[in-house]
Amino acid sequence: MTEIRNRTLATWVKDMAALCTPDSVHVCDGSQQEYDSMTQLMVDAGTFIRLNDALRPNSFFCRSDPADVARVEEFTFICSKKQAEAGPTNNWRDPDEMRQHLNGLFRGCMCGRTLFVIPYSMGPIGSHISKIGIEITDSPYVVCNMHIMTRVGTAVLDVLGDSSDFVKCLHSVGMPLEPSQADVPWPCNANNKYITHFPETREIISFGSGYGGNALLGKKCFSLRIASVLARDEGWLAEHMLILKMTSPKSEVHYVAAAFPSACGKTNLAMMNPTVPGWKIECIGDDIAWMKFGKDGRLYAINPEAGFFGVAPGTSMQSNPNALLTLGANSIFTNCALTPDGDIWWEGMTDEPPCSLVDWLRRPWTPACGRKAAHPNARFTTPARQCPVIAPEWQDPKGVPISAMLFGGRRGGVVPLATEALSWQHGVFLGSIMASEKTAAAAGKVGELRRDPFAMLPFCGYHMGDYFAHWLRIGAGADAAKLPKIYYVNWFRRSPEGKFLWPGFGDNSRVLKWVFERCAGKAEAVETPIGRLPTAKALDLTGLKLPEQNVRTLLDVDTQGWLAELPSIREHYDSFGARLPAALKTELETLERRLKAAVKG
């Protein structure tokens, strides 16, 4: 077994073992042999089903408990010393009271199980942008998924050395076993779920759930909630953003980061096949971007993850062929349906569903039964290295220089296809008012507008008013000429009849081409009250056969629509109280003046 030489880590592991009383302790070395032994352990326990090796080599299927299928935002807490630090967008609990409660839950919680110590790096091991976490867990499912999603093993301990600079992540499924008690395929504690974050001490403690980001604590818990606090304190950015590389026919390169709420095509954009001839798009990351300033004054980004943990339903060769091709081997599938020949399936995967399946609840399924075969939040975990369009520099420890940032949401009206911010401050304003219309999968009324600033609403680990201020400080302390340009995009504009005006998917590369050319100082734009918009000529629509009326609407400024939205933006801003930066109030007032002047003009 791997030896722990770091005294701080060794003491913590010893203390947690004394609290949780596992039968044994295993320190993960990150080897293929370890991964294989974990998967076999779960096959033997009935947790994993080995898929048909001829169809999907070294891949596994599993079903969670029906009470443990998604993130549990209502049981997710920021335990800052002062409630005001958590802000209005987070659930808060007093850290001392929460620790006392959690200690009671964790006492003896690993009886009959193994305590696994997972040393992992968020980002390339040894990069100055990367951070180290140590997750203690009693779930071999977590071990396997962390092997895919992060860089796990002894090399991480070597880089850590004697330092105490690591994020402590403690997790348990919360189901101890008596000496004669049989285990279940998916242990969890449905009645006691807590996903807690202690920003001042850089700790994450999760109890009761074995699913997704509740248990894989390198995901949103570390990469955003804790990392956003680290970024604030250390002067960098930890963002819910994809990173892509775009190469022109002349081999010029720009890197773009983009933030979108759920159901807005984030992963599809990260892995798209562009429709513009001669242009190439490659993926650096599909979900998280950590960005620090380089010696040249530019922002450099890494993808801190090593894999993709994606929503399976809707992923197909039409919507995202590169994602589907990534899943061809070495993957884990959770809560999908199982085919008779030992493969997986989910809604939208093929044009026609199979004649028969076993659904995620182990029931026989046919197309006529009227039920979903896969859970709507069914997931795949797969290595990023397998993506056909992964960029060669996706693991470069220096990161990649970001030329542009995109913000956007699902908006049927008001927001044009693409808008360039007038300045960094104006770009922060656009990010702060981001909104998306709810889909049928979201709670609330379909079409209702939900503000999701920077797509960080569930993930910012501190007061979001202070988060806006941090973005403004980042810009104020930098060379404006070297900062990324900021854009507000909307692929989802509709006609009065409800039809999409823009084709989306691979044709979004046409907007990216305009952004690329703006970064190179080549493309035209027209200044409007809301920002700079592309001219119809500047947008490459070759071969698209888009009706002229569609183009006019997509590039039109709906002045009255924006004026009508101002009260909603003010209400949104009021929720942040005195911590809302004055600069954003100024931007809002300036926007109103420009819009009213346009009406009079």
Residue finishing a domain among 330, 351, 386: 386
Q: What is the pLDDT of residues 123-138, one digit of tens each?
A: 999 999 999 999 999 9
- How many Å apart are CA 444 and CA 424, to the nearest integer? 33
Question: Are 191 and 317 in the same domain?
Answer: no
Our count of domains for the chain comes to 3
Q: Of the residues 193, 208, 235, which one is the last residue of a structural domain?
A: 235
Residue 275: partners with Cβ closer than 8 Å, 6 or more residues away = 506, 507, 509, 510, 543
Contact 171, 135 (CB under 8 A): yes
- Provide the pLDDT for residue 600: 86
Q: Quick check: is 474 in a domain?
A: yes
Q: Where are the alpha helices (DSSP H) in 388-508?
A: 424-432, 464-476
Residue 60 covered by a domain: no
- Are 207 and 319 within one domain? no
pTM here? 0.97
- 294 and 346: one domain? no
Q: Is the pLDDT of residue 445 over 90?
A: no
By annotation, the residues acting in catalysis are: 264
The pLDDT assigned to 438 comes to 72
Backbone phi, psi, residue 544, to 5° = -85, -30
What pLDDT band is residue 539 in, cutting at 50, 70 and 90? very high
Domain membership of residue 54 (yes or no) is: no
User: Does residue 158 belong to any structural domain of this protein?
Assistant: yes
298/172 same-domain check? no
What CATH number should be reported for the domain holding residue 152? 3.40.449.10
* Mean per-residue pLDDT of the chain: 96
Q: Which helix (H) or strand (E) holds 134?
A: strand 131-137
Distance, in Å, from the CA atom of 532 to the CA atom of 146, rounded to the nearest integer, reads 43
* 2 within domain boundaries: no
Whether residues 126 and 181 fall in one domain: yes
| Residue 441 reports pLDDT greater than 80 | no
C-alpha–C-alpha distance, residues 179 and 468, integer Å: 53
Residues 337 and 356 in one domain: yes
pLDDT > 70: percent of the chain: 98
In a shared domain, residues 326 and 431: no
Of 187, 219, 235, the position where a domain reaches its end is: 235
End-to-end CA distance of the chain: 75
Whether residue 379 is found in the same domain as residue 430: no
Residue ranges of the alpha helices (H) in 303-349? 321-326
Considering the domain architecture, whether residues 202 and 256 belong to the same structural domain is answered as no
CATH number at residue 335: 2.170.8.10
Confidence of residue 439 (pLDDT cuts 50, 70, 90): low
In this prediction, residue 536 carries a pLDDT of 92
Q: Specify if 63 maps to a domain.
A: no
59 falls within a domain: no
Predicted confidence band of residue 443 (pLDDT cuts 50, 70, 90): very low
Q: What is the pLDDT of residues 546-556, one digit of tens each?
A: 999 999 999 99
Give SS3 for 446: coil
pLDDT for the residue numbered 344:
98
Q: What is the DSSP letter of 423?
A: S
Say if residue 368 is in the same domain as residue 439: no
Q: Do residues 277 and 312 both lie within one domain?
A: no
**Torsion angles phi and psi, residue 514, rounded to 5:** -65, -45
Rounded to the nearest angstrom, the gap between the alpha carbon of residue 388 and the centroid of all alpha carbons in its chain is 20
* DSSP assignment letter at 321: H
| 441 inside domain | yes
Q: What is the dihedral of CA 420, 425, 427, 433, to 10 degrees?
A: -130
pLDDT band, very low/low/confident/very high, at 533 (cuts 50, 70, 90): very high
C-alpha–C-alpha distance, residues 491 and 243, integer Å: 18
Same domain for 595 and 582, yes or no, is yes
Nearest to 290 by CA among 232, 217, 205: 232
pLDDT band at 444 (very low <50, low <70, confident <90, very high): very low
Structure-token pair, residue 490: 């909307």
Q: Which residues span the domain enclosing 416? A: 239-306+392-600
Reported as a single tens digit per residue, the pLDDT across 237-286 is: 999 999 999 999 999 999 999 999 987 889 999 999 999 999 999 999 99
